[in-house]
Amino acid sequence: MKKVLLVDDEILIRETIRDCIHWEREGFQYLGDASDGEVALPMIEQMQPDILITDIKMPFMNGLELSKIVRSRMPDVKIIILSGHGEFEYARKALSMGVVEYCLKPISSSDLMRLLRRVSDKIDKERSEKEQLAGLMQREHEKTELSRQKLLNDLCGGLLSTTEAIQTAEALSLRLVARWYAVVLMDLRLSPENSHDLDVPLSALKQYVEDGREQILEYRSSLTKTVWIVKGDNKETLELFLRPFREMQNKLETESHYCEISLGIGSAQERLQGIHLSFLEAEEGLHWQRLSRQNRKNLLEATRSSIHHSIFLDRQAFIRFLKIGTPRQLESFIPEFASALAPIDWNASLTGYYLLNDLTLEVFKTAEEWYRGSEADGQRLVDFQQSIESIRNWGEACHYLIRLVEQFWHWRSHSSDRYAHLLLRVKEYITSNYDKDHISLQDAAESINMSPSHLSKIFSQETGQTFIEFLTQTRINKAMELLQSTQAKTYEIAFQVGYSDPHYFSNLFKRVTGMTTTEFRKQGASSTAAVSFGLAEGEQDERASFFA
């Protein structure tokens, strides 16, 4: 029911209007009445009427003054002016202030009801339009949010070129471009027992992200995983924005009751394409953190009632030796490093197993970071962990540590030798599959059994190009060949070289070659190396080698 409030200085008129209408039966709620605008104003603010019926000529505050204030404070209230004056000037002023109806006294109950129904219909219509508009805006917001989520997800997944990412971000009014990027990935698996303990750190992190939303782009990659793409104008600024995440990561490393949160942080990258690499590194960091923390939780439980709870192995010292140590130093380093393990009774306690397993996880994690794509795979880790289970004395523990060091050095010595062959296989994979529009870094990495992040890193280091750049080069090379040797139309060639969008292909071709496909076809093969790219004589070899 629409709520109605009446304002008139004549009590007889107020009582007549109040009593001559069956308000509830007609679909209205009569809120009450006031003798002038000054008395009515606090009632209006408290009761929030839908319709205000007011006289014009009243003491203290007249109807026009009241209408002006109400329209300013509560624009949705519909105002009906009642007046005994028929002058045009009153009607003009009332209508200029947004009054919906203006009528002269005296007015019959039937005329007033027709007036109220007309105003009620107008209210219903406006409310319906507002609901429709709100629903449309909500759907548009949801659509935009889904598009934004897809953009960020595809960017982290390595599924977009730089141009595609920038164009899509501009269409969504999303500020994506920056000098430096890094990805943070959080996996949160709450249980009823620990959800309260996590309220404070999670709320602080959430507030930090909210405050820095211009520099931190957030999306959910799954029910448990949240991804943040952190931007910075320079590397120092980026590290400043990453500091709360690193502090949270350190807290997770040292406080065991946060075991349901895992946080991975990827490396700083200077290009949009590097976001994919940083995301993969964050995923790997998440994986190793989860393994390491679960092992430490087991160690804590195993040593809770043990005399060996104070045994400590300096993992960082061991890692430093792996990186800079020599075989000649190995025999003296291991006994000294492992001296803390000497008191352990390997037959009666699991302490030694968890300590060595924790160290092994750290070594494999380091190998994965330094020599990704090496043999530091899951099965080899399992093999080493099974070897720990067979250790029965301190001497065998030392022997195990020597094997662990030698394994790391084996990865170190063989990693560089394997790159040339692996990169050749990747280039062959691209050459064989460039015509497929879904080819990605992930696909190429799987074809050589290497992690995508490591492939991306070594590909850039060894070739001077990103994976996407080399793929684009290969496709444009083939497109140039087809333009010169066939009469196929541009859209046909686009599909043949792996681009489902001919318009995007045409823009990309011109950006890379400096010419449209039509201009390139007219130039002919003889002038391709120099004229078509508009290069100075000294730059021709460089461009030719790019398309070699």
Residues 192 and 122 in one domain: no
Model confidence, pTM: 0.43
Residue span of the structural domain in which 504 resides: 420-546
- How far is residue 415's CA from residue 454's CA, in Å, rounded to a whole number? 11
**Helices and strands in the chain, H and E counts:** 21, 9
Contacts of 7 (CB under 8 A, 6+ apart): 33, 34, 35, 36, 37, 39, 40, 52, 53, 54, 55, 58, 63, 66
pLDDT score recorded for residue 480: 92
On whether both 123 and 175 belong to a single domain, the answer is no
Q: Same domain for 175 and 123?
A: no
How are strands ordered across the β-sheet holding 261-265?
A: 216-220, 225-232, 180-188, 261-265
181 and 271, same structural domain? Answer: yes
Say if residue 122 is in the same domain as residue 171.
no
If you search the block for the tokens 């934004």, which residue do you land on?
A: 148
Q: Which residues contact 1 (CB under 8 A, 6 or more apart)?
A: 24, 27, 28, 29
Map residue 251 onto helix, strand or coil. helix
**In this structure, is residue 537 part of a structural domain?**
yes
pLDDT tens digits in sequence order for the chain, 548 residues long: 899 999 998 898 889 889 988 899 989 999 999 999 999 999 999 999 999 998 888 888 888 888 889 988 998 899 888 877 665 566 667 666 667 777 777 788 888 898 899 999 999 998 998 888 887 877 777 677 778 888 899 888 888 888 888 888 888 888 899 989 999 998 887 665 555 555 666 777 788 888 777 788 989 888 888 999 999 988 888 988 998 888 888 777 666 555 577 888 988 888 888 898 889 888 877 777 677 666 666 655 555 544 444 567 787 888 888 877 888 888 899 999 988 888 888 887 777 888 888 888 888 877 776 665 455 566 788 888 888 888 889 999 999 999 999 888 887 776 655 677 788 888 999 999 999 888 888 888 888 888 787 788 778 766 767 888 889 989 999 999 999 889 999 999 999 999 988 888 998 898 888 889 988 888 864 444 432 333 333 333 333 333 33
CATH code of 53's domain:
3.40.50.2300
Same domain, 59 and 120: yes
- Assess contact for 468 and 508: CB atoms under 8 A: no
CA of 455: how far to CAs of 57, 372, 381, 428, 449, in Å? Answer: 84, 8, 21, 14, 10
* Judgement on whether residues 183 and 109 belong to the same structural domain of the protein: no
Q: Determine the longest span between alpha carbons in the chain, in angstroms.
A: 113
Q: Is 449 left (phi over 0), alpha (psi -120 to 50) or beta?
A: left
Domain boundary pick from 293, 321, 353: 293
Q: Which CATH number does the domain housing residue 261 bear?
A: 3.30.70
pLDDT of residue 532: 32
Strand 2-7's sheet: what is its strand order?
28-34, 2-7, 51-55, 78-83, 101-104
Please indicate, yes or no, if residue 267 is contained in any of the structural domains: yes
Phi-psi region at 186: left, alpha or beta (left = phi > 0; alpha = psi -120 to 50): beta
DSSP strand pairing (225-232 vs 180-188) = antiparallel
Q: Is residue 391 part of a domain?
A: no
Q: Is 499 exposed, middle or buried (0-12, 13-18, 19+ CB in 10 A)?
A: buried
We report the CATH number of the domain holding residue 510 as: 1.10.10.60
> Which amino acid makes up residue 32?
G
Q: Is residue 318 part of a domain?
A: no
Residues 431 and 535 grouped into a single domain: yes
* Residues 108 and 56 grouped into a single domain: yes
Distance, CA of 37 to CA of 164 (rounded, Å): 61
Domains in the chain, number: 3
What SS3 state is found at 250?
helix
CA distance 360 to 292: 9
Both 63 and 191 in one domain: the answer is no
| Domain end residue (candidates: 293, 308, 324) | 293
Pick from 460, 463, 366: nearest CA to 411: 366
Does residue 375 lie within any of the structural domains? no
Eight-state DSSP code of residue 229: E
- Within a domain: residue 333? no
Q: Where does a domain end: 293, 327, 347? A: 293
**CA–CA distance, 409 with 327 (Å, rounded to integer):** 9
Provide the residue type at 192 as one letter.
P
Residue 105 phi/psi, 5-degree rounding, is -85, 150
Same domain, 101 and 213: no
Cα–Cα distance, 303 to 344 (Å, whole number):
11
- Within a domain: residue 328? no
In a domain, 125, yes or no: yes
What are 85's two structure tokens?
A: 């004056």
**Domain identity same for 173 and 68:** no
